[in-house]
Structure 1
Amino acid sequence: MDQKDAIDILEKNILDNVICRNLELKPGVIATYIAGLSNESGGYIFLGVEKDETQFIINGISTTFQLTNILNVAISKLSSPIILDFCFLNFKGENIFVIKVEKATVKILCDEEYYIYKSNGVLKIANKTEQYDEQIPDKPTLFLSYREIDTPIVNIIEDNLKRLTSDGINISRYTRIPYKASFKEFMNGIQDHDVVLCVVSDGYLRSQACMYEVGEIIKDHHFNEKLIFVVLSENERKYYPEGFTEKIAANIYGSEVKRLQYVTYWKEKYDELNETIRGIDDYEAISDATRSLKEIGQIYRNDISEFMTYLADNNGKSFEYLCKNEFKDLLGWISKK
């Protein structure tokens, strides 16, 4: 791709035949954009960019997203081969993803539907009337992350959301956030979801896998826009099997002393592992443990406090509160995405 053309469009605020999205990772949606542009005069798709009536707003997009894979899936949804090019482009210090779409010589369908470009988006043309019709939005998608032991709560959340939306929401479950080498797989898995909901219990905050991955996620401002948390308390014990004794409540609200207990927990984990490593004089034998020590240090020095502050600042909702208001807050939050 000739990056100069894309830069010229951005610098001169050429808004025609351009579709901008701050964060769009659904292959099906991107496929409609490609089809719409190819059925008109061609054009550009910018990811990590917004535009108003007069100018572009550069926000940037993480290069960790597997956008090439997403684009390949999008292309597979088209009825005929098309000509396009794509690349990451650094513009004014921000990375953006650019897709250049050429005008097609034949009608291009996406999943057997015909689209055309229209004002920073696409319109679907009805098959029978040949009149313009607004694109029908997909069902919102929700990704649930939780510890397997908290499944009773997750079942209630899922059942109520499906009931209240008349099954108008697609929900994916993941009982455990993948660890270390699986992080990219996890990131790819949630890219196609509008909302990521984490069910936070005491055990969740004491899980190295959960805290490491969530710590990485909340540092990415794109994911902050789609994250929501349900915080559990001891009031939820009635939903668990009889004889369940593990602590449930996540000490997020109220006493700073209670929140600092988690910092203390991770500091003790760090000291314990550090002391064990010091007693083993073999680098190869302790290489994995050394990496783990570094991660635990990051958790107790930064991530756990940042995460709990993030939750306390109204980013987390108690399960009891959500039940009392019929999950309206959660539904409203999802509907905005």
Structure 2
Amino acid sequence: MEKELAIKNPALKRIIKRINEGTCLVILGPNLLSEDGNSINDRLNNYLAEMLPKKVTHNITEGFLSFDDRTRQIDLEDHIEEFFEDELEPNKMYEKFAEIPFPLIINTAPDKTLNKVFDEKGKGYDYSFYNKVTPPKATIKKNITQIYNIFGDYEHLDSMILTYKDLFEYLESIMGAKKFKFKDQLHESKAVLFLGFSFDKWYFQLLLWIMKVDSKKLRSHLITQDNLKKFCEEEFNVEFFDDDASEIIDELYKAKMDGLIEEKENNYEPELFISYHWSDESEKMTEVLKKQLQEENLRILIDKDNLAYKADIKDFMRRIGKTDGAVVVISKGYLESINCMRELLELYKVYENEEFLVRIFPICLEDANFFDGKELLKYEQKWKDKLQIIEKEYRERGQSAGNVLDEDYKFIKEIIEKFTEITQKLAEINLSSSKVLKDTDFKALIADIKKIF
């Protein structure tokens, strides 16, 4: 209690409380590694303009570069790597910051300085970045800090925003994405802490637009432009500490060293859903697989085991969506079952885009003939035939049929709409035969699952 009273700033007390709850996220700006008032972005742009004076022009006011395609293809990559690997080193602020257990750190610079600090301290973390050209596959690791570079990674030149053209391509890409990767985490958080920002720069305005955080209560370090501060407070509900970023980090670091901020234990047990058809071969294989996975300390969710009598199926479907991954045992019966396909549709909706290929682990039984295009067309036709039968019932029985068949009609229509899309996605995954997997105690499958948990 005495330690708590030592922190006089009530806003800082609330932040410490949220950190201990695991509900405080951080967004790092490029000014946190500033040198002589220049952010990482400014320093990089100045460096490239200095190294390539005849090929690169730096628009200091806007913060963008201009250069031709040949310069991008031939000259930039090596110089950018030199800058980030030779010119950038973690400062004391980063050393302290890495000690504070935030669940998610969104980095708006394309550097990996924080990663370097985590590596040196031997701290576990998961790293990913947004690539406007080819988004990398996600990983799923819980109870460790996730570092996400929202504006790219310097080792992947196509992911960086260096020019106006890059910015337009980024906007086009992210507007086409179904969902910003950490949108759910941001909405579930109770505090978002901004550190190291110039609030009048393009990247800050773009970031708030991407996140759509106008209804979120945010905290930030102090900015001096009164009119801009007033605008941010009114437009985005941002609150400001009467300190700069270094002072806030110092206070949080001291709280951590004093034991007011607790170290998070990585005791999370991932939960894996197994989706299969209740037929002889599928069920026998699932039982063997379940035992193998449980020996690896994975929690297993199976409808036959976990869906209680008279339980709400919609609630169970929501629970499926919260699992960390799913093994899908694809058989002839599976592809023809409305309940199985309902589960697959739910997984497809929840594990969006590239994450579907990461979080789904398919096993194909021989009777499915999954890699035979003609057979897949036959499955799709069977669903169309079922839809026609329901439509006939509607015509003959009217509203009475609707009361009974509406839900099936909706799902079958969705199955038909998504069937080709989903099966094509699954076909992109390199699958071993079910016999090989079973004969080797599913070692290859389990190894792949453990890579992401």
Specify the TM-score bucket, using the shorter chain as the normaliser: 0.5 to 0.7
The structure with the largest strand share of the pair is: 1
1:233-262 per-residue CA deviation (whole Å, 9 max, x = no partner) reads 3xxxxxxxxxxxxxxx21202x32222120
Match in the other structure for 1:279: 396
Q: Which runs of 5+ in 1 are unaligned?
A: 34-44, 72-83, 116-134, 234-248
Q: Secondary structure at the match of 1:334?
A: helix
Match in the other structure for 1:36: none
Distance 1:170 1:286 in 2: 42
Native 8 Å contact 1:144 1:172 kept in 2: yes
Return the letter of the residue paired with 1:85.
A
Q: Secondary structure at the match of 1:314?
A: coil
Q: CA deviation at 1:291?
A: 4.4
Q: Secondary structure at the match of 1:60?
A: coil
More deviation, 263-272/138-147: 138-147
Match in the other structure for 2:326: 196
More deviation, 199-208/317-326: 317-326
Asked if residue 152 in structure 1 is aligned to residue 269 in structure 2, the reply is: no
C-alpha distance 188-281 of structure 1, shift in aligned 2 (>3 A):
closer
Structure whose alpha-carbon radius of gyration is higher: 2
Match in the other structure for 1:252: 370
Match in the other structure for 1:170: 298
Q: CA deviation at 1:207?
A: 1.6
Native 8 Å contact 1:25 1:67 kept in 2: no
C-alpha distance 189-208 of structure 1, shift in aligned 2 (>3 A):
closer
Q: CA deviation at 1:10?
A: 5.7
C-alpha distance 232-96 of structure 1, shift in aligned 2 (>3 A):
farther
1:8-66 per-residue CA deviation (whole Å, 9 max, x = no partner) reads 9566475854724667887x71xx65xxxxxxxxxxx8779587579899882375789
The structure with the largest helix share of the pair is: 2
Match in the other structure for 2:259: 107
Asked if residue 334 in structure 1 is aligned to residue 452 in structure 2, the reply is: no
Distance 1:260 1:297 in 2: 15
**Which structure 2 residues correspond to residues 2-21 of structure 1 after superposition, within 5 A?**
9=27, 12=30, 14=32, 16=94, 17=97, 19-20=105-106
C-alpha distance 141-262 of structure 1, shift in aligned 2 (>3 A):
same
**Which structure 2 residues correspond to residues 1-337 of structure 1 after superposition, within 5 A?**
9=27, 12=30, 14=32, 16=94, 17=97, 19-20=105-106, 29=143, 49=150, 52=153, 60-61=180-181, 68=188, 85=191, 91=207, 94-95=210-211, 103=252, 104=255, 107-108=259-260, 114=263, 141-149=271-279, 150-161=282-293, 167-175=295-303, 182-183=313-314, 185-193=316-324, 195-219=325-349, 220-221=352-353, 222-233=355-366, 249-253=367-371, 255-282=372-399, 286-287=402-403, 289-300=405-416, 302-337=417-452
Return the letter of the residue paired with 1:271.
Q
Native 8 Å contact 1:142 1:197 kept in 2: yes
1:215-245 per-residue CA deviation (whole Å, 9 max, x = no partner) reads 2432512343211111123xxxxxxxxxxxx
C-alpha distance 85-65 of structure 1, shift in aligned 2 (>3 A):
closer
Distance 1:50 1:213 in 2: 34
Q: CA deviation at 1:185?
A: 4.6
In the alignment of these two chains, the number of paired residues is 257
More deviation, 53-62/12-21: 53-62
Distance 1:96 1:227 in 2: 29
Structure 1 runs of 4+ aligned residues shifted over 6 Å read 23-26, 45-48, 53-59, 64-67, 96-102
Native 8 Å contact 1:273 1:293 kept in 2: yes
Distance 1:161 1:291 in 2: 34
Q: CA deviation at 1:198?
A: 1.4
Distance 2:405 2:395 in 1: 11
Q: Secondary structure at the match of 2:382?
A: helix
Native 8 Å contact 1:143 1:172 kept in 2: yes
Percent identical among aligned pairs is 20
Native 8 Å contact 1:148 1:175 kept in 2: no
Distance 1:90 1:287 in 2: 47
Native 8 Å contact 2:320 2:347 kept in 1: no
Return the letter of the residue paired with 2:364.
V
C-alpha distance 223-329 of structure 1, shift in aligned 2 (>3 A):
same
Q: Secondary structure at the match of 1:197?
A: strand
C-alpha distance 227-60 of structure 1, shift in aligned 2 (>3 A):
same
Native 8 Å contact 1:61 1:95 kept in 2: no
Given the two structures, how large is their TM-score scaled by the length of structure 1? 0.58
Native 8 Å contact 1:205 1:262 kept in 2: yes
Distance 1:322 1:287 in 2: 44
1:84-118 per-residue CA deviation (whole Å, 9 max, x = no partner) reads 5259x9847644899979835862465xxx35xxx
Q: Which runs of 5+ in 2 are unaligned?
A: 1-10, 12-23, 34-93, 98-103, 107-126, 129-137, 162-169, 194-204, 220-247
Q: CA deviation at 1:206?
A: 1.2
Given the two structures, how large is their TM-score scaled by the length of structure 2? 0.45
More deviation, 222-231/312-321: 312-321
C-alpha distance 182-161 of structure 1, shift in aligned 2 (>3 A):
closer
Return the letter of the residue paired with 2:412.
I
